[in-house]
Structure 1
Amino acid sequence: MASNAPKRTLDVTAFLQDAGMTPFHYRLLIISCLVTFFDGMDFSLVSVALPEIQEGLKLENAMLGYVSSAAFLGQMIGSLAGSYLADVFGRRPVILWCTAIGAVLTFATGFATSAEMLIVLRLFGGLAIGGLLAPAWAINIEAMPNSYRATAVTIIMLGFSVGGAAAAQTTNLIAPTYGWEGVFFFAGAATGLLAVVLQFTMPESARWMVAKGKPAAEVLPLLSRFDPGVGQEGYTELVLSDERKQGGSSPWAKSAALFKGQLAWITPIIWVTYFCSSFAIYIKASFGVKFLQVLDVPVDTARDLSSIGGLIGAVGAVFLLMFTERKGPIWIAAAPLLGVPLALLIGTGAVPVGGEAFIAVIMLGMITIGVGHASVISITSIYYPSAVRATGGGWASFMAKFAAVLAPIIASQMFLANKRAVLDGYSFVGLCLAGVVVGIVALAFFARRLGAERDAEAGLSGAVAEPAE
């Protein structure tokens, strides 16, 4: 017999927006930062331990590029696979599996005895790292009020940068006694411990569950973490007023949704901007220490500069995003715009190599590259509906990883031969940053048009549109 009880509908969009920042939001940010911290540590180990790896395995400079690119190639493939699986099966299971697999492969890297074995292990390790990031971005974006979304992504990527900085210091502490192998053993074991903790702490995305049509009885316990009283209201139907229902669950259908309306402009602009930023950051990540070594900077000092610059850059990105979420995304261009002349000062030889001014400019340049890249990452997913958000972030990451794969290979072939070649590498980084500036300016223009488009759709449907960031 059919029930005559009236339906009670909850607009989850309005609920999450009105909830503001709750203790659960902060717990989610902390958990996500731990995930990206160990992800960043695992990811950065090869680059910071490269001098020891090169010496221990007797690698030529040309081979260093392929070793560094292996993880990036894995990330490129993993970003698509992980993001699609996260849109189909949920953010939580993909994050859990990628963390566990990444831990095993990082630990196993310590057993590598040849360049070929190292390349294979980092390739598969990159699959796990690439598959993890887009779901981690998505689960935070979908939990946050609109005005905190980009900042939330930047905060969790702060964990990635801190992990990269910790990799440098961990290598300085462990490698002299236990060799580069011991560094991978330590990082793999620590990440494995995190994988166990996540089983009990990582939630699922409530917005994703609503977008997938999950029963209200399954979603309300998650919403109760934001407001314990919501489960007592007797809601029987949950909706997202700011999103149109997405048709089709195939990879092609989800990818096609990234080009609807103004997204047809925004998506390729994001890809190009992220590509340019990735070229700059991955030259730095792969050979930042090696570049400075060629310029006669001691290895320990080079690692310290790399870790400190990366850490300050990540923290700076958080403050920049807190400002830009009030003033508009075009202000993100400030960091790479400042980075262009800094890179050219080094590349042209205007600042003598080795002096205090040189160290200061190198440090500032690393900071601006880090600030700019973290800021670009923060806006790669915020423009997409929940049903395809991870797919959008995954495709952006996939396109960026073309730069990540090419950067170490090109740098090892063109910018490692001698001091002059290294300086040319810094000039090339400046050109990449100029491309980022152009992309952000274009993105700001089309983001306004996307906001107007969604306002018009909301006016026709009577719903409240989600503002473009």
Structure 2
Amino acid sequence: MTGTARSWSVVTLGALVVVAEGYDLIVYGALLPKLVAEPGWGLTSASAGSIGSLVYLGMLVGALAGGPVCDRVGRRPFVNVSVAWFTLWTLACALAQAPWQLGAARLLAGVGMGAVIPAAVALAREHTPAHRTGLVVTILMAGIPIGGTVASLTGIAVLADHGWRLMFVIGAGLSLLVLGVSLARLPGSAADTAPDAPAHPSAAGAFAALFREHRALLTVLFAVTTFANLLTWYGLNTWLTTLMREMDYPLGSALTFSLCLNAGAVVGSLVLVLAAQRWGLREVAAVCGVLTAAGILVCAVGPRQTAVLLATITLIGAAAQTALTLVLASVANSYPTRIRASAVGWANGTGRAGAVVAPVLGGAVLAAGLGPSAVFLAFAASAVVAAVVMVVLAVRERRTPDGPGTPAPAALPAEVRS
């Protein structure tokens, strides 16, 4: 297999892993109306939101702990163990007989979901040239909204007649299939032969290195922007269906809005990454944050024209997903190979705190009687914060390039800049 073919093989396999995660992660938002109506469970919007946040708490733990461990033990085994872990606990969700059991299973599934992203991003980055990082990470992370799209389509097809448990069974089956492909075809890591690092840095050493050699401010800023981005993105994925129902749209239409959100994320991010190749990862990420906030404000107004809402939600999906993937691409380009998974894990893990807050925030706002528009306004504010931080990072990059893999704009004007 040629180097180029091997590179795209790694990216494709990594994307399949993320698709499986995306389904298992985003399916909860499609199930919320059914879970609230589950006989004997007594769930409210607030309590359902709290359960929804547990998967993101697990992802926070998995990403923060998993990145340094992955840098030490190797990408391939770490990816496969992580997929097996969240597959097991997704199946356990289907068997839950009480809210606490569902919450516990979602928490444990989240640990595997959070751990696999840094490993997949680091592995794909190691098999591709630096100037393609934006495209590679965009394709990889498109797996999450693709999985969300599959979850929405599956919900439209089976949720009304077969209930929410089958949705988790389907997700576990998809994850098991992807695990089999990954075990058979996913190659090993290039990190062991990297020229810029010892073969196996300790977990503590990899984490400490994120704050050394003038990286401390960069590391903190990446954490802030991923927190705000993930608060926006997973807040919408968790609450969009419910918010649309609160605004008197039927369940079928509300699921269609969720489908548009994730489909827009897939198609839009692949288009917008071309802009990043010309103008820079951080600059385009900042613009996407502004577009996300503007689109959410339109939803808060609640126009009755269905076409307007569909177009707006599709734009939100495209912009929000692109902002997130471009941030992760910039992280992957800004740190040396020996700590790359730790860096992505740090950004993704601290960002998961935003994903933990998002379901609880939405539920609390609704429980307070402030209405769906107030929930939309909260998520618009977090999108603005993410955009502002990306402007700061873009200015900082122009003054002092942050790390390896940052091509000079004058020499490579059409390629991705970290």
Give the whole-Å Cα distance in 1 for the aligned partners of 2:309 and 2:173.
38
Q: For 2:188, which of 188, 194, 204 is the aligned residue?
A: 204
User: Structure 1 residues 366, 27: CA separation in 2 closer, same or farther (over 3 Å shift)?
Assistant: closer
The answer (yes or no) to whether the contact 1:306–1:366 under 8 Å persists in 2 is no
What are the Cα deviations for residues 47-81 of structure 1, in whole angstroms up to 9, with x where unaligned? 11111122123311221111101101110101122
* Cα drift, residue 408 of structure 1: 0.9
Tell me the TM-score normalised to structure 2 length: 0.90
In 1: Cα distance, 2:49 partner to 2:261 partner = 23
Distance 1:92 1:86 in 2: 9
What is aligned with 1:167?
151
For residue 403 of structure 1, the aligned residue among 354, 364, 381 is 354
Change (3 A) 1:417 1:452: closer
Amino acid at match of 1:145: P
> Percent identity at matched positions?
25
Which residue of the partner structure matches residue 5 of structure 2?
A: 23
Question: Could you tell me which residue of structure 2 aligns to residue 105 of structure 1?
Answer: 89
Are the aligned partners of 1:33 and 1:159 in contact in 2 as well (CA < 8 Å)?
Answer: yes
Cα distance in structure 2, aligned partners of 1:400 and 1:452: 20
Aligned residues: 404
* Mapping of residues 60-459 of structure 1, within 5 Å: 60-206=44-190, 208-211=191-194, 240=195, 243=196, 245=197, 249-329=201-281, 330-347=283-300, 349=301, 351-353=302-304, 356-415=307-366, 421-451=371-401
Taking only aligned residues, the RMSD between alpha carbons, in angstroms, comes to 2.2
| Maintained 8 Å contact 1:266/1:447 | no
For 1:251-277, what per-residue CA distance to the aligned partner results, in whole angstroms no more than 9, with x for missing partners?
332112112334222111111111111
Structure 1, residues 328-381: CA drift from partner, whole Å, max 9, x if none?
A: 22122222212222322333x3x5346543444344334322332333333232
SS at match of 2:275: helix
**1:259 partner SS:** coil
Partner of 2:16: 34
CA shift at 1:451, angstroms? 2.9
Conserved 8 A contact 1:335-1:368: yes
C-alpha distance in 1 between matches for 2:299 and 2:391: 26
TM-score by length of 1: 0.81
**In the TM superposition, what is the alpha-carbon distance from 1:320 to its structure 2 partner?**
1.9
Q: Is the 8 A contact 1:297 1:354 kept in 2?
A: no
> Deviations 1:150-182 (Å, cap 9, x if unpaired)?
210110111121001101111222223321111
Larger radius of gyration: 1
Query: Structure 1 residues 252-261 or 121-130, which shifts more?
Result: 252-261
State the 1:319 CA deviation: 2.4
Question: For the Cα contact (< 8 Å) 2:192–2:199, is it kept in 1?
Answer: no
SS of alignment partner, residue 128 of structure 2: coil
Distance in 2, matches of 1:453 and 1:76, equals 25
Letter in 2 for 1:376: V
**Distance 1:248-1:371 versus aligned 2 partners, 3 A rule:** closer
Ranges in structure 1 where 5+ consecutive residues have no aligned partner: 1-18, 212-239, 456-466
- 1:449 Cα offset (Å): 4.5
For the residue of structure 2 that corresponds to 1:58, the secondary structure is: coil
Aligned-residue offset at 1:387:
0.8
Alpha-carbon spacing, 1:447–1:410, altered in 2? closer, same or farther (3 Å):
same
Distance 1:176 1:159, change over 3 A: same
